Chain A
C-alpha cells in the first residue's frame, strides 16, 4: 500500500519552455504533498509544501511564480516549471503523507529534468 506515482520519469525540454510534473497518491488520500529537488550528490531540498485546496507554501529562495504547484484533489498535485532554464535541470521528487505521527512520507520515483 501507500503508493505514490510520479510522471514523467524523465523529460528533456528546451530552454524557455514549461514542463508539468504530476504526482498521484494511488491508494490513499494525501492531505499534504511535498516537492523536493535534488542536485547530484546532494541531499533533498524541500521546495514547497502543498495542502489540498489551498495555496502551496514555498521554502525560502524558491520562486513561486516559476515553480507553480497545484494540489486540486487529495490524490493529485502538479509542479509546473515555467520558462525552464538549464540551471533548473535536476531531479524532482514528490512525496505524500496521509497524516502525522508514525506515518512516513511515501515518495514518487522522481522526475529527471534536463533543460537544453
Chain B
C-alpha cells in the first residue's frame, strides 16, 4: 500500500531552526509537496520537489532524496506565526496526491 510518515507533533523555540521529516512509500513518484495548514484554515502551498536536492525559499527549504523515499522541510528563524500543521504529500504514478497525516509544529517563546 501507499504510505507517508511524518511525526505527529514537534516543538521548537522562536528564532530556532526545526526540521520536519517525511518518508514515503508510493506507487511511483511524480513530485513531493509541502503544505502549511493553520488551525481551521485550508492548506497553503509551501514547496515542491521532484529532483533530488534542496529547494530554498526564504526561511523555508525542502529537501528530497528519491532513492531513500525521504524529504524534509527546514524552517529557519522560527516565528510564532509558524505554529501550524505541515503536510507532506506525494504525487504517485497516477498523479494522485497521497497525503501524510501532518506534523503539528508548536513554537514556544
Contacts and interface: CB of A to CB of B under 8 A. Distances in A.
Interface of A: 6, 34, 42-44, 46, 49, 91, 93, 95, 100-102, 104-110, 112
Contact of A42 (B91, B95, B101): B101
A113 to B, nearest CB: 13
Contacts of A100: 30, 91, 95
A106 to B, nearest CB: 7
B42 A107 contact: yes
Nearest to B104: A41
A109 B41 contact: yes
Interface in B37-53: 40-45, 48, 50
B48 A102 contact: yes
B44 A107 contact: yes
B66 to A, nearest CB: 15
B42 A93 contact: yes
B25 to A, nearest CB: 16
A105 B97 CA distance: 9
Contact of B43 (A42, A44, A101, A112): A44
A101 B31 contact: yes
Contacts of A105: 33, 45, 97
21 contacts: A6-B42, A34-B97, A42-B101, A43-B101, A44-B99, A49-B96, A91-B40, A93-B42, A93-B43, A100-B30, A100-B95, A101-B30, A101-B50, A102-B31, A102-B48, A102-B50, A104-B33, A104-B45, A107-B43, A107-B44, A110-B41
